[in-house]
Structure 1
């Protein structure tokens, strides 16, 4: 257990149950929430039979806060007083217990994958068709509409595939992730149900409030009133494509909170890394961060920025730089990241060709049981039969025997793995090559493994790495070419800020003048419009980076 900082003590001792904590990455937010939960239990503000509900967006985030709680709250207190759930888990609980109130079968099939996307691809709609159907259904289902109202709205819209897919879903008594939250909002519109849960949950802790959709906030407000602690940072709001509205949510909740507590002291990153993060603050709206203990960072950290003539040359240099770092600090984790996954294909190919071990986050890690089923499936898979199948995913699920898997977690893990197999086969890999990418363990294996990690900017949110190389600082990549409005470009700036803030010791941003298209034709690329903003950090050029690495105190770095 660490001694809390003065800012964390302020959060702990805040008497009201209503609070907004604004805490940028690396400033001790999760620790502060754990300390606050412990205090609410210890001082008797939350006593049996009431519980504290802590909400997260992902299982990773749920595991993270649960791990921190273990340092401050005893097992018996956690068991008796704390519930940690993601939003879909919370919604599923409401549907199972009270679905009948709104005419939904409580035994409705819960989602185990992105069924709408899977169905679009099975129907041969392609990626553009998939995106259109998803946009139509997502926008409708973020509103408090029952199934009949959804059907009426779709009929008015007139898109035939969206209508067909929704009719198939209803006929199969199936729910999607969007349906769960929609049903939860409709259920909580019943005052008796809402009152029941308000009595049950005496306090609510909301992590990463900037990622809330208006629908999720409406659900939370029905669960609690005047007893919610919101925590997060507008500068990390990068999920607009999921329906998140950071500024709208912030404007709604600030008047509801009795106090706003601001954190700006970073315990994660070196002064050099923080200079890069701060350089983006005028675009991201984030707080300027200060290093909590600048003298503790060997060499004050590294910040660099480079341009290469070609993406292949970029890949070669980054690969060599990462290997040089790992030679000095083999226990460190080096992230190679980009706004979009496809921009990493050059470094991926170079590492593959040179036999350098890497961790592809898109591949993930499978548990032992799921890995055994997947390997057996790939061994038995006949590609000709798969290609001939009208519904490729169903064919693959039949080969794997998913219907015979009864354990829920294994079934979901296998469903995700089969989608991953189909994607990799679609990329042109053979079954044997896909099998070669399988790694066995748990998520901790990936989170803690030293070495080189390849991942996209969104996947890296919530993680930290010792060193970060951000590839592809080019317009059309960051900001992404589909970002056309000022709000969308602002979110792209926040994505770059999030990638920068993943780094502990050092961060290097790169741009290539020529980046081949997926088809192989060379295309000239301009530097990102965000590139000049990094001037304020005075990042090192190639010679400066090499000089820093030559004199770096590797023994001290290894222990930090």
Structure 2
């Protein structure tokens, strides 16, 4: 465990429960937020039966901060005093527990994939129509509207394709990803329910505040206004397509929080890389960064730019470079980042060509909670029952207990991982061997 920096200690020891932490990538934000929770518990600001609510935007971020929290708190204290969820998971929990207060059934299907996109493809919508449908539904549902009000909004704006899709969703008794925060906000508008959550969570931590939509911020405010620590960096906003508005959110949070702590030392990047990043500040409005330990980077590190005639040529060069680095540093991991999924596929093909094994960071089977579900299923897997099943995919869904998983992101990851299991079993792997990677 690294020695906390002065800024991290300041965050840990800040006594007021409202705090804004501005921390560019690699500056120790996750560590600081974990220390923040440690400080709240050590000072007995949060005592049983209250908990600290930690909210992230993805399963990866959730797993990352959970591991940091475990290192500072231990498994028992983490389990008893902290709830770590992503926004869709939080919304799904609120819906499952209190759907009846807004006249909905808690048995409505929780999303396990992007149903709207799937339906647009099934109905053969061309790209402009599909985008308009998805945008219309997102805009309609990012305000606190009931099902009837969503339909009225779509009808008034003459979004007829989106309206038909919405009616089909209601008829099929399901929720989409856009519905989850909408119904959670409707539920939290019921004061006794909101008071229940305010009483249960004595403090809230939001990781990557710049990715909040106004709707998500309203949900946070209903649970922990004035008792929330926000961590993030305006230059890292990536959810504009989903309705995030970093500048507006930043203004509102600044008004809420009594103190702001800014990080400017990077623990992740070399001085050369930081020089390149700093050169983009006029475009990103980011913070100028310095290296926390420049002496640890031989010759100040390395930064280079290369341009290529085609995506295939670029991918080939990336794959060869990765292969060469892996040969010289076999104990290290190499990260390759692509701007889009299609661009990533070029790199994957090139890596396969040179014989380099790789994992996709977003593969569901790599998610911690998903891996736990899959391992439990495979450890007692009935191979004979699976082989005799007419619908083997449905057999896997039932065996995994998919229907009992409320968290939408975890459901999606489990579905993805079940696809991996299906392919492995089809190729002759045994359930127990899949559950134990050492076999």
Normalised TM-score (structure 2): 0.85
2:394 to 401, 406, 428: 401
Cα drift, residue 289 of structure 1: 0.6
With over 3 angstroms needed to count, the CA separation of the structure-2 counterparts of 1:371 and 1:234, relative to structure 1, is: farther
Structure that is richer in strand per residue: 1
Query: Which deviates further from its counterpart, 187-196 or 207-216?
Result: 187-196
Paired residue for 2:248? 248
Cα drift, residue 363 of structure 1: 5.4
With over 3 angstroms needed to count, the CA separation of the structure-2 counterparts of 1:225 and 1:337, relative to structure 1, is: closer
Contact 2:363–2:416, Cα closer than 8 Å, also in 1 = no
With over 3 angstroms needed to count, the CA separation of the structure-2 counterparts of 1:352 and 1:245, relative to structure 1, is: same
How does 1:381-420 map onto structure 2 within 5 Å? 400-401=393-394, 404-405=398-399, 407-408=401-402, 412-413=412-413, 415-416=415-416
For 2:40 and 2:363, the matched residues in 1 are separated by 40
Paired residue for 1:474? none
With over 3 angstroms needed to count, the CA separation of the structure-2 counterparts of 1:170 and 1:39, relative to structure 1, is: same
Paired residue for 2:74? 74
Paired residue for 1:24? 24
Paired residue for 1:335? 335
Corresponding residue SS for 2:203: strand
Structure that is richer in helix per residue: 2
For 2:427 and 2:165, the matched residues in 1 are separated by 32
Normalised TM-score (structure 1): 0.67
Cα drift, residue 344 of structure 1: 4.0
CA RMSD after TM alignment: 3.0
Cα deviation, 1:3-38, whole Å, max 9, x if unaligned, reads: 211111110111110110001111111111111101
Cα deviation, 1:145-171, whole Å, max 9, x if unaligned, reads: 001101111222333332222112112
Cα drift, residue 275 of structure 1: 1.3
For 1:166 and 1:60, the matched residues in 2 are separated by 30
Off by >6 Å, runs of 4+ in structure 1: 369-372, 418-421
Contact 1:363–1:420, Cα closer than 8 Å, also in 2 = no
Query: Which deviates further from its counterpart, 408-417 or 163-172?
Result: 408-417
Corresponding residue SS for 1:338: coil
Cα drift, residue 361 of structure 1: 4.4
Paired residue for 2:169? 169
Structure 2, unmatched stretches of 5+, are none
Contact 1:278–1:289, Cα closer than 8 Å, also in 2 = yes
Cα drift, residue 126 of structure 1: 4.2
With over 3 angstroms needed to count, the CA separation of the structure-2 counterparts of 1:175 and 1:226, relative to structure 1, is: same
Query: Which deviates further from its counterpart, 246-255 or 331-340?
Result: 331-340
For 1:274 and 1:43, the matched residues in 2 are separated by 37
Cα drift, residue 276 of structure 1: 1.5
Contact 1:405–1:411, Cα closer than 8 Å, also in 2 = no
For 1:220 and 1:411, the matched residues in 2 are separated by 23
Paired residue for 1:306? 306
Say whether residues 1:239 and 2:233 are aligned partners.
Answer: no
Contact 1:52–1:82, Cα closer than 8 Å, also in 2 = yes
With over 3 angstroms needed to count, the CA separation of the structure-2 counterparts of 1:198 and 1:345, relative to structure 1, is: closer
Paired residue for 1:324? 324
For 1:320 and 1:406, the matched residues in 2 are separated by 39
Contact 2:187–2:193, Cα closer than 8 Å, also in 1 = yes
For 1:105 and 1:237, the matched residues in 2 are separated by 35
Cα drift, residue 76 of structure 1: 2.8
Say whether residues 1:353 and 2:353 are aligned partners.
Answer: yes
Cα drift, residue 243 of structure 1: 0.9
Say whether residues 1:142 and 2:142 are aligned partners.
Answer: yes
**Number of corresponding residues:** 410
Corresponding residue SS for 1:71: helix
Paired residue for 1:229? 229
Cα deviation, 1:402-447, whole Å, max 9, x if unaligned, reads: 66446125964453358899xxxxxxxxx99x979xxx989xx9xx
Paired residue for 1:108? 108
With over 3 angstroms needed to count, the CA separation of the structure-2 counterparts of 1:215 and 1:400, relative to structure 1, is: same
Corresponding residue SS for 1:359: coil
Cα drift, residue 49 of structure 1: 1.7
Cα drift, residue 398 of structure 1: 5.5
For 2:118 and 2:256, the matched residues in 1 are separated by 40
